[in-house]
Chain A
Amino acid sequence: MERLHSIFVAPFADMVAAPDFFLQVVWEGLVSGVLYALIALGFVLIFKSSRIFNFAQGIMVVFAALTLVGLHERGVPALLAVPLTLVVMFFLAVAIERVVLRPLVNQPDIILFMATIGVTLFLIGLGETIFGGENKVMITSELGIPTGSWIMEPFGGFVSIEQKDVTAVVGAVLLVIALLVFLNKSKMGRAIRALGDDHQAALSVGISLSTIWVIVWFISGIIALATGIVWGARAGVSFALEVIALKALPVLMLGGLESVTGAIVGGLAIGVLEKVFEIYWGQPLLGGNTEAWFAYVLALLVLLVRPQGLFGEKIIERV
């Protein structure tokens, strides 16, 4: 009885008793959720347009962040380092298309997936060779990101919100809006969606695969840089960042591999839920550190009920 009480009643009583603390937890969760969503978005774009599950998305985040910090270390002013990093990411996209994707076109999906693992290993090696393997500090203030925090006092309590988190959220929202406008309103965006629907037909109307692939990988590179800056600002830049890409997997399962909305909602949901679960259930009942597995279990449960994910594209079939 006491056990049931501590699972089903006590956590909610805690939430109500200290709403300011609850808000703080949700906010923290939202911020990590934004990051998960960004990484998932990179996956979704590449999967939609080429049916490739891009294992390298995580390392692209690290590589972009490393390039940015590395350029700054070598004396490039921060605001110039950002466009320069984007140029690097563009050439990376071109190189991946030329060297990896083009020769492997029409190969089974699993081979392309393996190829992205190869890209991952290559980028780890390249990054370490050029910038060294030690941890670096993200150049947050040099980029003009405010580092203070705001204190708010809702419900007579106390919530502290870091300004760089707010910047991250606002930046992510702007990025997503720009991406959605690009996908839905521009000629290239339309071609990307068309390619996701029917590869052969896209070829037959003259949509050039290589152009689209370069664009899509470049966009993923931009997203990777944004993710890298935000995550690096919280936790520093190191190759350990790569594993956060794994966090995108449950997000994708939850949201569906093809849905931009799914990636965003899935990311936010997982971010918030895992935080809330950790604080109110994990720490008091399970000894903490539930964040490491909560997302995967949640995704598993969702898959049992909806195999295409919560927002996976419905397969349109005429009968």
Chain B
Amino acid sequence: MTPMTAPTPDTAEPILAVNNIEVIYDHVILVLKGVSLSVPRGGITAILGANGAGKTTTLKAISNLLHAERGEVTKGSILFEGQEVQALSPNTLVRRGCIQVMEGRHCFGHLSVEDNLMTGAFTRKDGAAAIRDDLELVYQYFPRLRERRTSQAGYTSGGEQQMTAIGRALMSRPKMILLDEPSMGLAPQLVEEIFEIVKKLNDEQGVSFLLAEQNTNVALRYAKYGYILESGRVVLDGEAKALRENDDVKEFYLGVGGEGRKSFRDVKHYKRRKRWLA
């Protein structure tokens, strides 16, 4: 696989632009209340936040998997490479180069690891030889998958499943991967390993990443830009470096207090929200 797009500076047109979207589940449950974000071509951007903040919903809105859960984007627009994605099926979107790796891996449990990877090539029309080459490439990035290629994916470890899921997405030759909670349920060492590979893929293959993470610490070390989501709104965004040094982020997401240990009594939740929402 040759690099698909040269990483260009942030000034170019973003590969993905989400403008003020609102998402409603089941016609009544308002989950996203106007989220805007953008991912530059060749960037790694992180969406951070607690459970239920709307990270997964944002990703699913982009990959158009919301319909399967009776969710609907009711306002705003999502542009992938300048084109509106709302009317496209997930199938078309994958064909255009935007693929999601779902939270909790979602490997095909009864299929072998290799068959799992091959399903990622479903939308491709460029021939068996090219697909073989890419399988080889995936094995280069994830040598462990080569060892387990014939095992049923359901019986592999959590880390191997996460690698399988990312490898499977890679097989579609994506320009952009939406990566949902890659760290979920993995040992810290493995989390580090997975993120190293994400960074390598970004550097060497030019794949852009939008990742949703609860592990703020790791995510902000690998991402270049971050958005913090709280109850369906972006409350803060900025360069990863700046976010890491932001006192509020430190206190509420990284667990380091400004001046020594703090007790819960001193955490003035409302004050923080007020300041951010202003």
Instruction: Determine which residue in A194, A206, A207 has the highest number of CB atoms from chain B within 10 A of its CB, and name it.
Output: A206
Question: Which of A106, A197, A206, A208 makes the CB contact (< 8 A) with B108?
Answer: A197
Q: Does B34 contact A (CB under 8 A)?
A: no
Is B190 an interface residue, CB under 8 A from the partner?
no
Residue B248 is within 8 A (CB to CB) of chain A in the complex: no
* Minimal beta-carbon separation of A211 from chain B (angstroms): 8
Task: Tell whether A110 is near chain B: CB-to-CB under 8 Å.
Answer: no
A202 to B90, CA, bound (A): 10
Among the listed A187, A200, A208, A316, which residue makes an inter-chain contact with B109, where contact means beta carbons less than 8 Å apart?
A: A316
Asked if A170 is at the interface of the complex by the 8 Å CB criterion, the answer is no
Q: 1/0 per residue B91-126: CB within 8 Å of A?
A: 101110001111000111111000110111111000
Residues in A whose Cβ lies below 8 Å from that of B122: 187, 191, 205-208
Given contacts A190-B111, A197-B108, A197-B111, contact A106 B70 (CB under 8 A): yes
Tier of interface size on chain A:
20 to 34
Q: Give CA–CA (A200, B152) in the complex, Å.
A: 19
Identify which of A205, A207, A208, A316 gathers the most chain B CB atoms within 10 Å of its CB.
Answer: A205
Total A-B contacts with CB atoms under 8 angstroms apart? 85
Also in contact, A204 and B99, with CB within 8 A (given A190-B111, A316-B154, A316-B155): yes
- Interface residue A203 (Cβ < 8 Å from any Cβ of B): yes
Please provide the chain B residues from 66 to 102 with a CB less than 8 Å away from any CB of chain A in the complex.
67-68, 70, 89-91, 93-95, 99-102
Instruction: Bits for B4-38, please: 1 = Cβ < 8 Å to A, else 0.
Output: 00000000000000000000000000000000000
**Given known contacts A197-B108, A204-B94, A316-B154, what 15 new A-B pairs fall within 8 Å (CB)?**
A190-B118, A194-B119, A197-B109, A201-B102, A201-B108, A202-B119, A203-B68, A204-B65, A204-B99, A204-B101, A204-B102, A205-B119, A206-B94, A206-B95, A206-B172
Residues of A within 8 A of B (CB): 106, 187, 190-191, 193-194, 196-208, 313, 316, 318
8 contacts between A and B (CB under 8 A): A106-B68, A198-B107, A198-B109, A205-B123, A205-B169, A206-B123, A206-B172, A316-B110
